[in-house]
């Protein structure tokens, strides 16, 4: 399974980066091959200062070795080995009318000292973070997510949409990071869904990503915007940074397993503002966005 899934994410990285370069029309992804001294490595691809994408990364990695003590405690296991691979992407567009997007699809195995697999699971999802809310874009993104889930179980979209709203929640701000999408973790084989079935599900979601995001970018990338729109985008990016550094489990796992810092922190946008006690004007588009972030809604 680990060989099969790593092969899948390598191909998915290629298809996503080539399409994004085509959309941007100016910038190309810079590729960085890296190795982890404890075992494994990855292929980082970063795009910067493009016509459409101010900064973005589409990264894959496969790392393995002894599980760090901090993570042994987290998983409530003893001295075991692990293998983890996945694709993680974040795209920060230049135009405030185009939403930021994040996605991640990953696979994890744990072994005893004889090399026997003692646990395995999939995780991941995809979610949208707009700065200005276009409801038709929100409906489109969620409809594609739902369409990817439905063949594998009628209730999966509802369940993983709810988990996404709960996970990407800035509890210290009492608001969502964005308008959600899908979030799932610890998808393990059982009597209802074998691990192979979860592979089919996760890869179907991964294959849906470009369909979910690209039409939104194409529709919004040429819209005009003002310096005030840009300021609001940078303030909201600050909330994005807060979530990633305070709450995100993936960031925590990377830092505690001696992950590659440049790859872990590639999710952070290049231009951000923290304005003291900032509140948008009542009735403004900015205030409308905050209403939705504070009370997640059903889009489809």
Identify which of 17, 212, 20, 206 has the alpha carbon closest to the alpha carbon of residue 107. Answer: 206
Instruction: Check residue 188 and give left, alpha or beta (phi > 0: left; psi -120 to 50: alpha).
Output: beta
Known catalytic residues?
102
Eight-state DSSP code of residue 67: P
State how far the Cα of 22 lies from the Cα of 48, in Å rounded to an integer.
14
State how far the Cα of 4 lies from the Cα of 248, in Å rounded to an integer.
27
Q: What is the DSSP string of 93-151?
A: ESSTTSPEEEEEEEEEEEE-TT--EEEEEEEEEEEEE-SS--HHHHHHHHHHHHHHHGG
The answer to whether residues 158 and 142 touch, using CB atoms and an 8 Å cutoff, is no
- The SS3 assignment for 36 reads coil
């Amino acid at each position: 399974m680990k060989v099969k899934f790593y092969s899948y994410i390598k191909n998915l990285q290629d298809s996503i980066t080539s399409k994004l370069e085509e959309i941007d029309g100016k910038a190309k992804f810079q590729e960085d091959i890296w190795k982890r001294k404890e075992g494994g490595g990855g292929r980082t691809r970063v795009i910067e200062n493009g016509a459409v994408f101010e900064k973005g990364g589409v990264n894959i990695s496969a790392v393995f070795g002894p599980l760090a003590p901090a993570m042994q405690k987290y998983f409530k296991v003893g001295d075991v080995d692990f293998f983890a691979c996945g694709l993680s992407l974040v795209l920060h567009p230049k135009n405030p009318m185009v939403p930021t997007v994040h996605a991640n699809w990953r696979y994890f195995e744990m072994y005893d000292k004889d090399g026997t697999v003692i646990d395995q699971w999939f995780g991941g999802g995809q979610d949208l973070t707009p700065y200005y809310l276009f409801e038709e874009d929100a409906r489109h993104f969620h409809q594609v997510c739902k369409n990817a889930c439905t063949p594998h179980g009628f209730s999966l979209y509802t369940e993983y949409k709810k988990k996404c709203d709960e996970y990407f929640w800035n509890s210290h701000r009492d608001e969502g990071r964005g308008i959600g999408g899908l979030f799932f973790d610890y998808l393990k084989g059982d009597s209802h869904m074998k691990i192979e079935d979860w592979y089919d599900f996760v890869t179907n979601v991964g294959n849906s990503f470009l369909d979910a995001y690209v039409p939104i970018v194409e529709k919004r990338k040429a819209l005009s915007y003002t310096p005030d729109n840009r300021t609001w985008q940078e303030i909201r990016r600050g909330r994005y940074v807060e979530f990633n550094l305070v709450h995100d489990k993936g960031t925590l796992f990377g830092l505690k397993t001696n992950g590659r810092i440049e790859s872990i922190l590639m999710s952070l946008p290049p231009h951000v503002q923290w304005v003291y006690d900032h509140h948008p004007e009542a009735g403004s588009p900015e205030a409308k966005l905050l209403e939705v972030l504070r009370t997640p809604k059903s889009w489809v």
